[in-house]
Amino acid sequence: MSMMKTNLNQESIMEEWQPEDLNPETKEILGRIANTIRQLAMDANQKANSGHPGLPLGCAEIGAYLWGWAMRFNPKNPHWINRDRFILSAGHGCLLQYACLHLSGYDLSIEDLKNFRQLHSKTPGHPEKLDTAGIETTTGPLGQGFGNAAGTALGLKLLAEKFNTETCKLFDNKVITLAGDGCIMEGVTSEVSSLSGHLKLDNLIAIYDSNNICLDGPLAETCSEDTLARYKAYGWDVFEVDGHDFDSIHRAFSQIRHHQERPCLILAHTIIGKGAPNKAGTHKAHGSPLGEEEVRAAKVALGLPEEEFYIPQAVINYFESKQQDYQKLESNWNTLFSTWADDNKDKAQEFGLMLERKIPDDIEAQLNQLEIKTPFPGRKASQAVTEFLGNELPFLYGGSADLSCSDMTMMKQFPIVAPGIFTGRNIKFGVREFGMGTMAIGLYQTQMILPYVGTFLTFTDYMRNSIRLAALQQSHVIYQMTHDSIFLGQDGPTHQPVEHYASLRTIPHLHFIRPAGNHEVKMAWIAALRYVGPTIIALTRQNIPDMPETVVPYAEGLGRGAYIVKKESGQAAYTLVATGSELSLALDTAKELEKRGHPTRVVSMPCWELFEAQDDEYQQKVFGGDIGKRVAIEAGVDQGWHKYIGREGIAICMEDFGASAPYQDIVQEFGYNVDAILERIL
């Protein structure tokens, strides 16, 4: 049955099923919860003298309905696997979520609300996953939470397909995201909404807080689209409700809970800053506290006491009475799981493996047995590794932004995820790099999937902010980025990354690895699997030789970030440091220097971040003492290299964008051959 638009104040058009209206007592207590949310939001913003009160006041009824009635969760176990997931895409309105988490019994105290936006508090200015129980993902940059929600919904569909049976639905939860006008306007939301509609994600619900106000003024100044028509075109079912009317909200949610077949958009008409007599409905309620006088006036208008952070006893009693219901939801699921596990022992074993996401202790030994011919492009070596890992790690899922045949992300032994068909382990994201990045975070946040995604390295610019948020919340996402240098050739400078190595190395908690040869590609994957955080593996398009010098154990080689692959024959005259495909060039150059009587050390440095994590003694072993003239060889800008080679060191790096030409012509043009390097350094 297809869901259709429900107009304001119009009875449900679904004749086959009519939801029961909320009874008056329920609506009365939900109304009190909504006003309590408003009270807590106003007081916390005012105490911090900072924040965004407009959304919490405008969406208070939505928050009260979700936490007080509609959502399935257990505050005593925020990680219960079959909970409904709420993601606040409009993260600036976080006091809505903080208030609801506190009221419903999560580990978030009234003191935490009083410490809103203070140093080291559990209530930062935008929701942060690592800080606060009940926060599913770090949000704030508009639209990205929407993408995280879409990725989580996709991941849960993959898990449901794998583990649900006709008699036991282990996964029947919903993913709910709350988005504002800013989220709806951001391009990333269009990307993920289009793909979600295509895939028919029937567990994804987006609430659009439609208050016609942006931070900078009325929405009409910048946007006049028909959002409902747009989402219908994406393949979504759409609803239109009064965001302050519990019956209107309830009718839409009840239909979705029982009859959802596609992703659903609920356009909720709200008044930003509702209750503030002079600022409600204006952009003045959006991005700064209301002010003491306006707060006092709002409390009078809403019938709230002057006491700060006041919570009515009736609201406290209501949520206390629901604690048993919350815990019963999980308890019933645990009983269901036990029955399912007894009847499906193989599936239960795989469920445990995926929930733990454990990397086998012997993974290095297994990869060492994997034969990869040489010379071989780094991208194809990586595909050989992922196809091997796919058989060993049931939680590994891959995807690409319309480039799987070029970035080699496809695990050929598994099918492709298709509309309404979620048996595959390869995801085609289409030409939606930013959306792919946000959805990868959501896939990881299912708690049972380890995602890797791919595109060309230069296109990390499209997805940079999603990579940054993955690093901020330490999401375990692996990025297989190919076409890693000017040596990709004739596609030219639009596709040739030169500033990207340096740019990506600046992101805290992101590991950027540029492996040289097949063995380092294998070891790069070990590093990426072991590091619980985001890793970019940058891989070549062109063939590169395998270098016996790099075939050392992980703990002595790539796992150190930098390591000596060739020792000097005497007192070092030169130390050459290189990454990726340039390592073979460094080794060839060192041979020529040795012939000319210049003892030369060669260091492979595939991952600066891993090297910086080593102790002083090891770092001195690689770069300390008198090791001659230091030379960095890398086909990117030289930013950052002088930390390792010193002010007097020579950086054989790029000083401009590349060029469109055959590979060998590029080599000659930019001086990445032995003769050109010798001329530079001798």
Integer Cα distance of 81 and 679 in angstroms: 61
Q: Is 367 helix (H, G, I), strand (E, B) or coil?
A: helix
116 pLDDT above the threshold of 80: yes
> Over the stretch 123-179, which tens digit does the pLDDT of each residue have?
999 999 999 999 999 999 999 999 999 999 999 999 999 999 999 999 999 999 999
**pLDDT-derived band of residue 1, with 50, 70 and 90 as boundaries?**
very low
**pLDDT-derived band of residue 674, with 50, 70 and 90 as boundaries?**
very high
Sequence letter at residue 470: A
600-604, strands of its sheet edge to edge: 563-566, 600-604, 574-578, 629-633, 650-652
* Three-state secondary structure string covering 337-360: HHHHHHHCHHHHHHHHHHHHCCCC
Q: Would residue 392 show up in a list of annotated catalytic residues for this protein?
A: no
> Over the stretch 643-661, which tens digit does the pLDDT of each residue have?
999 999 999 999 999 999 9
* Three-state secondary structure string covering 228-257: HHHHHHHCCEEEEEECCCHHHHHHHHHHHH
Length of the chain: 682
Mean pLDDT for the stretch of residues 584-594: 98
319 pLDDT above the threshold of 80: yes
| Residue 616 token pair | 């002083």
Q: What is the CATH number of domain 560-681?
A: 3.40.50.920
Domain 24-327 has CATH 3.40.50.970: yes
Residue 374, pLDDT score: 86
Q: Is cis: bond before 305, omega within 30 of 0?
A: no
Residue 135, pLDDT score: 98
Tell me the CA distances in angstroms from 401 to 236, 251, 426, 444, one per residue in order: 22, 38, 11, 18
> Over the stretch 484-519, which tens digit does the pLDDT of each residue have?
999 999 999 999 999 999 999 999 999 999 999 999
Residue 364, pLDDT score: 97
175-179, strands of its sheet edge to edge: 85-88, 175-179, 204-210, 264-269, 237-242
2 pLDDT above the threshold of 60: no
* Contact in structure between 155 and 443 (CB atoms under 8 Å): yes
> Over the stretch 594-650, which tens digit does the pLDDT of each residue have?
999 999 999 999 999 999 999 999 999 999 999 999 999 999 999 999 999 999 999
Residue 19, pLDDT score: 67
Q: Domain ranges in the chain?
A: 24-327, 363-549, 560-681
Mean model confidence pLDDT for the chain: 95
Does 363-549 match 560-681 in CATH topology? yes
* Contact in structure between 126 and 140 (CB atoms under 8 Å): yes
Tell me the CA distances in angstroms from 387 to 308, 380, 384, 470, one per residue in order: 59, 11, 5, 24
| Residue 413 token pair | 């032994």
Q: Kindly report whether the global pTM for this prediction surpasses the value 0.85.
A: yes
Integer Cα distance of 593 and 130 in angstroms: 51
Mean pLDDT for the stretch of residues 374-394: 96
**pLDDT-derived band of residue 11, with 50, 70 and 90 as boundaries?**
very low
**pLDDT-derived band of residue 21, with 50, 70 and 90 as boundaries?**
confident
Integer Cα distance of 645 and 96 in angstroms: 51
Task: Find the catalytic residue in 433, 520, 582, 634.
Answer: 433
> What single-letter DSSP state applies at residue 574?
E
- Residue 145 host element (H or E): helix 144-163
What is 363-549's CATH topology?
A: Rossmann fold (3.40.50)
